[in-house]
């Protein structure tokens, strides 16, 4: 490699031929081979790599896959060398050859010595910036990640706690009901009734079909009082235990009179108690089944939201991602928030990075709820439009001012207080939609609220990486 190979690179503008010769003397020419790694993520950044020609992909290992997060495809683009000023400096990505070419590889200590000789003041500034930036960024990212994780975990725990507690209560009550059922059945079997009478009583029981939807509580209370009065008239004890489940199941005085025609004396009480216990057991089993189904649905929603068991790029149903996100944010969608869904039945599946899109939906929905201060209408809609799918997330908040709307997609811009929000700004959401999926994201705002409109192609162009920094 000669000085002429470096002279045309903007990176070296201002360096003399002598300085370039020193750089070449301290470095090594390294060929780029397609599919071969030049440097690897997480290893010490002991070398400074400068692209002369050819290209590399920059990959980060995320979950089970290597994801392209950047490219070195412009001569003069560089990566690594961080240990020249930072002992803990690591390669932020893996550099994997795509198009054959050449790179200049300079050891970090050589780069440091040359920088100190040529630009001593700049060297001190760079070292200070590395140290300060590393400390601030590490602290901020850790804090932001913990806050976001804590918020989602607390919300999910609250969502799971309700059905789990209901299932526990149902099972505890079921234990008592089963004991009563077996006890009453045992007393009946001791000779109080014949086999024929029991068969007739069971036939009466089967005539009662409990309501799928409970009746009005006032109606049930009136029926319970009526049954308690009837039992008092017929000297049936424990009416406070027997009457409520019979009333809830829809039993009336006429049915009780028919039961009294079959049984008499203590057998009537024990027979009614057995029937009431069977109704209670069915009701409690239904409650436990519904509660555990709800827990299972929540777990499925979390799995869908995180996409941990699926490939990054996949064919997805946009509605599924929106619904799993609404479940994850369920703790914020109570009290004064009404969710209105308008999902078209003709929305095609799209090829997308499902986990990344779920982060976008999380950010937009969280912003909408915050804009309404927890009270209002959240509108979520989907529709097909030619070769794209349109998702709209709207709120009935006060809307954005023109100044806020103009700056909404700027990096690091926020109107939220510290500790609020998901930590994913609209700038990152825009880059996920636009660069990763070839779509668009727009804002329509006014005094009646704000609507975020996301358009995603059914099959995106080659996904572009979301750059983290100007250099890796």
Residue 385 and residue 456 in contact, taking contact as beta carbons nearer than 8 Å: no
Q: Are residues 318 and 451 in the same domain?
A: yes
Q: Are residues 232 and 357 in the same domain?
A: no
Look at residue 138 in the predicted model and tell me its pLDDT: 52
The whole-angstrom separation of Cα 355 and Cα 432 is 11
The whole-angstrom separation of Cα 280 and Cα 174 is 8
Mean pLDDT by 10 residues, the chain (472 residues): 86 86 91 92 87 91 76 88 73 90 91 80 55 52 54 65 80 86 85 84 86 72 90 87 88 90 86 90 84 75 58 81 83 82 90 84 88 89 90 90 78 52 64 87 87 90 48 36
Look at residue 341 in the predicted model and tell me its pLDDT: 93
Q: Are residues 341 and 451 in the same domain?
A: yes
Q: Are residues 323 and 434 in the same domain?
A: yes
Three state DSSP letters for 203-231: HHHHHCCCCCCCCCHHHHHHHHHHHHHHH
Beta strands at 440-446 and 375-385: parallel, antiparallel or unpaired: unpaired
Q: Are residues 272 and 393 in the same domain?
A: no
Look at residue 301 in the predicted model and tell me its pLDDT: 64
Which CATH number covers residue 404? 3.30.565.10
Residue 96 and residue 57 in contact, taking contact as beta carbons nearer than 8 Å: yes
Q: Residue 126: inside a domain, yes or no?
A: no
Q: Are residues 325 and 445 in the same domain?
A: yes
Which residue, of 239, 267, 294, is where some domain finishes?
Answer: 294
367 φ/ψ sector (left φ>0, alpha ψ -120 to 50, else beta):
alpha
Q: Residue 176: inside a domain, yes or no?
A: yes
Q: Residue 73: inside a domain, yes or no?
A: yes
The parent domain of residue 423 ranges over 313-457
**Cross-strand partners of 394:** 379, 451
| Torsion of Cα atoms, 387 then 393 then 399 then 401, to 10° | -50
Q: Are residues 213 and 91 in the same domain?
A: no
User: Could you tell me which of 84, 79, 76 has the C-alpha nearest to residue 114?
Assistant: 84
Q: Are residues 279 and 352 in the same domain?
A: no
Look at residue 343 in the predicted model and tell me its pLDDT: 93
Which residue, of 118, 141, 173, is where some domain finishes?
Answer: 118
**Cross-strand partners of 383:** 390
Look at residue 394 in the predicted model and tell me its pLDDT: 92
Question: Encoding tokens for residue 206?
Answer: 């089967």
Ramachandran angles phi, psi of 9, nearest 5°: -90, 130
Q: Are residues 382 and 413 in the same domain?
A: yes
The whole-angstrom separation of Cα 51 and Cα 193 is 95
Q: Residue 414: inside a domain, yes or no?
A: yes
Which pTM does this prediction carry? 0.48
Q: Are residues 287 and 331 in the same domain?
A: no
Ramachandran angles phi, psi of 271, nearest 5°: -65, -45
Which residue, of 294, 323, 339, is where some domain finishes?
Answer: 294
Q: Residue 204: inside a domain, yes or no?
A: yes
Q: How many domains, in total, are found in the chain?
A: 3
**Cross-strand partners of 104:** 29, 50
Beta strands at 375-385 and 336-343: parallel, antiparallel or unpaired: parallel
Look at residue 162 in the predicted model and tell me its pLDDT: 73
Other CB atoms within a 10 A radius of the CB of residue 427 amount to 15
Q: Are residues 286 and 320 in the same domain?
A: no
Q: Are residues 327 and 282 in the same domain?
A: no
Look at residue 469 in the predicted model and tell me its pLDDT: 39
Q: Residue 437: inside a domain, yes or no?
A: yes
**Cross-strand partners of 352:** 314
Q: Residue 471: inside a domain, yes or no?
A: no
Look at residue 37 in the predicted model and tell me its pLDDT: 93
Q: Residue 63: inside a domain, yes or no?
A: yes
The whole-angstrom separation of Cα 276 and Cα 296 is 30
């Amino acid at each position: 490699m000669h000085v002429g190979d470096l002279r045309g690179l903007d990176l070296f503008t201002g360096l003399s031929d002598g300085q370039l010769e020193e750089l070449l003397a301290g470095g090594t020419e390294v060929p780029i081979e397609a599919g071969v790694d030049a440097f690897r993520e997480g290893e010490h950044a002991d070398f400074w790599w400068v692209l002369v020609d050819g290209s590399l992909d920059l990959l980060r290992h995320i979950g089970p896959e290597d994801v392209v997060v950047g490219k070195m495809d412009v001569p003069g683009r560089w990566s690594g060398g961080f240990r020249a000023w930072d002992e803990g400096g690591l390669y932020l990505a893996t550099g994997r050859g795509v198009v054959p070419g050449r790179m200049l590889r300079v050891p970090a200590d050589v780069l440091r010595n040359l920088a100190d000789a040529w630009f001593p003041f700049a060297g001190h500034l760079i070292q200070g910036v590395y140290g300060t930036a590393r400390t601030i960024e590490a602290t901020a990212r850790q804090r932001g990640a913990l806050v976001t994780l804590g918020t989602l975990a607390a919300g999910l725990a609250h969502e799971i706690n309700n059905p789990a507690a209901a299932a526990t209560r149902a099972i505890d009550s079921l234990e008592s009901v089963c004991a009563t059922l077996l006890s009453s059945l045992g007393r009946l079997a001791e000779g109080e009734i014949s086999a024929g009478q029991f068969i007739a009583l069971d036939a009466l029981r089967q005539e009662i079909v409990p309501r799928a939807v409970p009746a009005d509580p006032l109606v049930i209370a009136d029926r319970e009082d009526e049954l308690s009065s009837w039992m008092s008239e017929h000297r049936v004890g424990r009416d406070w235990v027997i009457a409520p489940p019979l009333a809830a199941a829809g039993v009336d005085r006429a049915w009780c009179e028919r039961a009294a025609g079959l049984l008499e004396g203590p057998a009537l009480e024990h027979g009614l108690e057995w029937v009431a216990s069977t109704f209670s057991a069915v009701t409690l089993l239904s409650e436990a089944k519904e509660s555990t189904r709800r827990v299972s649905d929540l777990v499925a929603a979390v799995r869908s939201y995180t996409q941990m068991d699926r490939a990054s790029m996949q064919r997805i149903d946009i509605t599924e991602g929106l619904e799993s996100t609404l479940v994850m944010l369920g703790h914020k969608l109570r009290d004064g928030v009404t969710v209105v869904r308008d999902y078209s039945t003709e929305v095609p599946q799209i090829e997308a990075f499902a986990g990344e899109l779920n982060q976008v939906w999380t950010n937009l929905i969280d912003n909408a709820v915050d804009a309404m201060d927890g009270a209002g209408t959240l509108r979520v809609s989907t529709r097909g439009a030619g070769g794209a799918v349109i998702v709209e997330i709207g709120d009935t908040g006060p809307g954005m001012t023109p100044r806020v709307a103009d700056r909404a997609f700027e990096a690091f811009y926020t109107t939220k207080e510290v500790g609020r929000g998901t930590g994913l700004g609209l700038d990152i959401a825009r880059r996920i939609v636009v660069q990763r999926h070839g779509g668009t994201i727009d804002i329509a705002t006014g005094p009646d609220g704000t609507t975020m409109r996301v358009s995603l192609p059914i099959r995106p162009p080659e996904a572009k990486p979301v750059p983290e920094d100007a250099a890796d």
